[in-house]
A = this chain, B = another copy of it.
Amino acid sequence: MTAYPSVHPDLDLVLERTVDVAPELVWKAWTTPELVVRWFAPRPWSTSSCEIDLQPGGRFHTVMRSPEGEEFPNTGCVLLVEENSTLIFTSGLGPGFRPRAAGDDFPFTAVIRIESAGDGTRYTATAIHADASARKSHEEMGFVEGWGAALDQLVEVVKGR
């Protein structure tokens, strides 16, 4: 497991939970676009498309759709891939490690850590921000509730429900 990143409590947001599905299945749900679209956006939102090129510099792309049908595309960059253990991607760079033009919304780096815990998985999702104001915006958008609901959906998908 990589030493990075380290969490800064004033700047970052963390969702930590244990779920009763195996780490390999959580990894598969996070890295297979056909599965991601089934759980990534908390209902009543949905995910209308997903593309992942699973290597450093690769494209991480999702389109979330609101209940009213409005679409919100997000294109970021994969940074680190440690199979069944750690996935890191960021909206702070574009695909191919290209810097973002200024003036976009607050970017964040997502760190998904997956560890074996009994028969299940210790799941830690961290959002890393540039500053406290970006953290606050993300928190007020409902990071913890949203990522928690998405995780519940991921578990449903993995269990084939």
What residues of chain A have their CB less than 8 Å away from a CB belonging to chain B?
A: 2-6, 8, 11, 55-58, 79-80, 88, 90-104, 106-109, 111, 128-131, 134
Complex formed: what's the CA distance from A100 to B57 in Å?
Answer: 18
Q: How many copies does the complex hold?
A: 2
Residues of B within 8 A of A99 (CB): 90-92, 106-109, 128-130, 134
Residues of B within 8 A of A130 (CB): 94, 98-102
- Whole-angstrom distance between the alpha carbons of A133 and B103 in the complex? 14
Let me know if B55 and A98 touch, CB within 8 A. no
Let me know if B79 and A128 touch, CB within 8 A.
Answer: no
Using known A-B contacts A2-B56, A4-B55, A56-B79, determine if residue A92 contacts B96 with beta carbons closer than 8 Å.
no
Interface of A is mostly: loop
Docked Cα-Cα span, A130 to B57, in Å, equals 15
The interface residues of chain B lying within 8 Å CB-to-CB of A91 are 99
In the assembled complex, the CB of A89 is this many whole angstroms from the nearest CB of chain B, namely 9
Asked whether, in the complex, the Cβ of B129 is within 8 Å of the Cβ of A4, the reply is no
Q: A4-B56, A5-B57, A101-B130 are in contact. Are A93 and B109 (CB under 8 A)?
A: yes
